Amino acid sequence: MVGMVNRKEADLGVAPFTITLAREEAIDFTFPYYYDPAAILIPAPGPIKKVTAFLDPFTSEVWVGILLSIMVLGPVMYVLSKAGGDDDYVYPHNMPTHWRTTSLSGYYWMLAISLFQQGVVYPMNSSSRVAFGAWITAIIALSCAYTGVLISFLTVPRVEQTFSSLHDLPYQSKLLWTFRHSSALATLFMDESAKGVYREVGAPFKTDDSDLVPTDQAGVFKEKSFLDFAIFTDYKKTGRCNLALAKQTFFPAAFGWIFQFLLMEEAGIFDNWKKKFWPKNENCWSLRDSIEYTQPLDIEDLRGPLAILSTGFLLAVLFVILECFGKNSWKEKVFGGKSVSQTKRKEKMIKLELELRTKGLPSVEVKSMSGGDDNTTED
């Protein structure tokens, strides 16, 4: 269908076309109306049933470490028992003399049987007793960890997961993969510019693409929304969960319709359509062109500066009122709150001077309220 529109056999392609770079260079698409990542359809994982399931709580490295510890600790305890003599401060015992001799195999047996929370009675000196105590402490921690993990395995059955992402696909050998021929994913995996995991996924099909599937029903890689319907359809048919999706998706694809926008623009079809159907309001357009964009400022434009000026004026008036009120209050405190003449004020000051002299305090300078020097009295 892309080729039909490109060859001008059709004007419009209506289908869920994936917008890719190669297609975008050859044809025009509408704005993407939907985004959907690609996913991998795999067989549904089944429960793991193995004879050696009791070994799964620990990895192989842990089991090898336990075995090596037994092999090393046995000779160490044997040497400590021989070198330490009959020192029994930590573990005093009164056993017959022939029981005091323990072979190397005996120490191996003692270390191995302690793994199963069992024990044997062997006389040991202080040094070997301390070494065995350290081994018992480690065994308690290992036993608790093993028991907890084993119970969780038995409570929640484990399922076998082949892989979870596209990066795991080339490095597994249980499943073979394929994808649809002449699709966006084929371009993604088999293009010469493909790199990394995309190149590795498409590498088996570079020389022979006969294993690529021609239809979606036979494919593995497909958009996630399509695969959700495929899993549901298979479940309705069989009544079992035979299919599943890998956990991680990849390559979020954009979907759009095909339309020759640029070709129509170059041919002048849009201009002709605009002339035919666009409103012809020449009066408003001419008025729009004649509008002067540089205009004088009015009162509305100067509201900010005027508001600041008004605020300053009001504050100035307020401070004048406060100053007058404060001055009158000071006069009332000094002269008793009465309106007296300048002569009476001077008499009060002289009287105050005499009282100060009587009490032996320093005199004050007496001035008139107008600021002139009316009288000065000093000691």
The 10s digit of each residue's pLDDT in 241-263 is 777 777 888 888 888 888 777 77
* 3-state DSSP assignment of residue 242: coil
Where in the chain are all domains bearing CATH 3.40.190.10?
Answer: 2-46+162-262
* 3-state DSSP assignment of residue 338: coil
Per-residue pLDDT averaged across 138-148, rounded? 89
Lowest-pLDDT range of 128-137, 294-303, 338-347: 338-347
The 10s digit of each residue's pLDDT in 159-183 is 666 677 888 888 887 777 888 887 8
* 213 close to 179: Cβ distance less than 8 angstroms: yes
Lowest-pLDDT range of 49-58, 78-87, 338-347: 338-347
Residue 68: what pLDDT? 92
Residue 41: what pLDDT? 80
Residues 214, 216, 221, 225, Cα dihedral to 10°: 160
The 10s digit of each residue's pLDDT in 194-245 is 888 888 888 888 888 877 877 766 555 555 666 777 788 888 888 887 777 7
Using 50, 70 and 90 to split pLDDT, how confident is the model at 122? low
Residue 64: what pLDDT? 92
Residue 288: what pLDDT? 52
Residues 134, 136, 140, 141, Cα dihedral to 10°: 30
DSSP conformation letters of 204-231:
GGSS--TTSBSSSTT-SEEEHHHHHHHH
Residue 370 reports pLDDT greater than 70: no
CATH class of domain segment(s) 2-46+162-262: alpha beta
Residue 55 reports pLDDT greater than 70: yes
Distance CA 220, CA 280 (A): 56
Residue 335 reports pLDDT greater than 70: no
Per-residue pLDDT averaged across 33-61, rounded? 79
